[in-house]
Amino acid sequence: MKIPFSILAFQLAFYYWNGIFAMSYTKMFGFYEISSVQIGNYVNVLSTILLGSLNGKSKLECFKTCSLNSDCLLIQFDSSKTCSFYKSIQSPNQSNSYTYFYKKIENKGIILEYTSQVVQDSKAVGSLVITNNVFYVKPFTFIDHLNLSNLDLSKNVITRLDENTFYNLSNLISLYMGTNKIQTINYKAFVPLINLETLYLNFNLFDYLNPNVFKGLKNLVTLYLNANSLKKIELGLFKDLKSLSFLNLNRNFLDKITLEFSSLISLKSLYLKFNQISVIEECSFRNMSKLIGLYLDNNKLKSINMSTFEGLDSLTELYMSNNLINSIDSGTFANLNKIVYLDISKNNLSYFENNLFSNLTSLLELRLSFNQLKTIDLDNQINLQILDLSYNQYNYFKKGLVSLKFLDLSYNPISFVNYSVIDSYITYPQLENLTLIGCQLVQIDSNSLKSLVNLKELYIQLNALNYLNESIFFGLNYLARVTMDKSLYGSKNFSTFYPNINFILI
């Protein structure tokens, strides 16, 4: 049936204005979107008090309902269009399908101003800590604090920073504003802080930063912006931060990495964990040749290509666990020959291109657990010391990794070990820890461990083993701990044969 144009227009207008009213309602009654990890800053998390829920109602209706209940402090929305109302919540859901809104209650905190006793008594100090439930700092409050180098206003309830909040603090080196309720920051708030080196703005409520807010902070070295609600990095936000070495943007709502990061030419550590990042724009790290650590865990990345990490010539640590990665181009790591630690665990990888890791000659630790891998090319990893391949699909593993000290093959479908997992004809392997938990093992040959003369710990519990030859540990003079099933231990008196080994029975 064809819908008359007038009715269709009315329906579209209804949904449009309902959305507009809902957004206005959040501001009118003081609702602010927060992440699940921020909830503990605003409501009690020691117990759960559920006040009720609505199913199939609009967000506008949910905001109205909560605003009329004085006990309602938190609204949880889920993907099934259900909103739940809480006074307190013990275990907020961490899933991306849930969103939370906090209802701001009128602050009863104090106003900090020039005439405040704590301000008057501290004019000559070099360091000042004020945690007196401050909710507003008046402009020019610190006008006479010429010697102040460290100012800590964290753990208050401050909601905004104005243009002259830090007027005359040109000697300030460190500013701590974390764990407040800051929603807005005037773009001139930090202008007087020409010598600032450390700035904490973590655990607040702002979802936007003016692109000029850090203008002039050319000496800033450390910046914490984690646990806020930032959805994007505005054009030019980092352009003046030429000395910045450390940047923490964990636990925001960023959905992509853009060219804005390429202006951070001195950055050494970049934390972007627990965002919504699904895209890394080409050349985003182009000028970041000093970056040492890049932390991208718990995002929504699906693929990594040859240009993703272009420019990161000094990178030594790369974390990408808990993403959705299903493919990595063969040349992705071609220029990352200084990588020491690489974590790509908990993704959707089923294979790697040959020679993917061939240029990673400095690699010491590789973590690939919780994927669907069956094979891997590690022929060039002669320096590798730690390898975690647990929770994959290997039914056979034998590599010439003579420097390897830790190998975890747990929960792979390995039925037989009648060979040495480390293939070495020239020197004895350095392996110290071998973990084969839950591998469906039915047999371990008595000679399969003979070459592992440096082995110290062996874990073989939760398998289908019903027999081990009593000679299996002969010659392993450093072996100090073996964890196995009780039933397997009961079949032999291993303690008599090996009094120096601690047998842990599961």
CA dihedral over 330, 333, 335, 337, signed as positive or negative: negative
Could you tell me if residue 203 is left (phi over 0), alpha (psi between -120 and 50 degrees) or otherwise beta?
Answer: left
368: exposed, middle or buried (Cβ count in 10 Å: 0-12, 13-18, 19+): buried
Strand ranges for 202-320 from DSSP E: 222-224, 246-248, 256-257, 269-271, 279-280, 293-295, 303-304, 317-319
The pLDDT assigned to 317 comes to 98
CB neighbour burial string for 54-65, b if at least 16 within 10 angstroms, e if fewer: beeebbbebbeb
Among 145, 240, 247, smallest CA distance to 199 is for 247
Q: Which residue is listed with tokens 């909601």?
A: 159
Say if domain 5-103 classifies as CATH 3.50.4: yes
Is the pTM higher than 0.85? The answer reads no
- 112 vs 42, 117, 200, 236, CA distance in Å? 22, 9, 19, 32
The domain segmentation of the chain, as residue ranges, is 5-103, 107-250, 254-375, 385-506
List the structure tokens of 233.
């990095």
Q: What angle do CA 241, 242, 244 make, to 5 degrees?
A: 65
pLDDT in tens, the chain (506 residues): 444 545 444 444 444 444 444 445 555 557 888 888 888 777 777 788 899 999 988 888 888 888 878 788 899 998 888 999 998 888 888 777 788 888 776 556 899 999 999 999 999 999 999 998 999 999 999 999 999 999 999 999 999 999 999 999 999 999 999 999 999 999 999 999 999 999 999 999 999 999 999 999 999 999 999 999 999 999 999 999 999 999 999 999 999 999 999 999 999 999 999 999 999 998 899 999 999 999 999 999 999 998 999 999 999 999 999 999 999 998 999 999 999 999 999 999 999 988 899 999 999 999 999 999 999 999 888 899 999 999 999 999 999 999 999 999 999 999 999 999 998 766 789 999 999 999 999 999 989 999 999 999 999 999 999 889 889 999 999 999 999 998 887 667 788 889 999 999 98
Say if domain 254-375 classifies as CATH 3.60.15.10: no
In this chain, the answer to whether the domains covering 5-103 and 254-375 adopt an identical fold is no
Helix (H, G, I), strand (E, B) or coil at 39: helix
Helix (H, G, I), strand (E, B) or coil at 388: strand
Residues in the chain, total: 506
The pLDDT assigned to 300 comes to 97
CA 349 – CA 374 distance, rounded (Å): 10
What CATH architecture applies to the domain 385-506? Alpha-Beta Horseshoe (3.80)
Q: Measured in Å, how far apart are the chain's first and last C-alpha atoms?
A: 68
DSSP assigned state of 199: E
Q: Are 419 and 400 in contact (CB under 8 A)?
A: no
CA 456 – CA 180 distance, rounded (Å): 49
Q: What angle do CA 434, 439, 444 make, to 5 degrees?
A: 65
DSSP assigned state of 51: E
CATH class of 107-250: alpha beta
CA 224 – CA 197 distance, rounded (Å): 12
Q: Are 83 and 114 in contact (CB under 8 A)?
A: no
121: exposed, middle or buried (Cβ count in 10 Å: 0-12, 13-18, 19+): exposed
Taking each helix axis from N to C end, the angle separating 59-67 and 5-28, rounded to the nearest 10 degrees, works out to 30
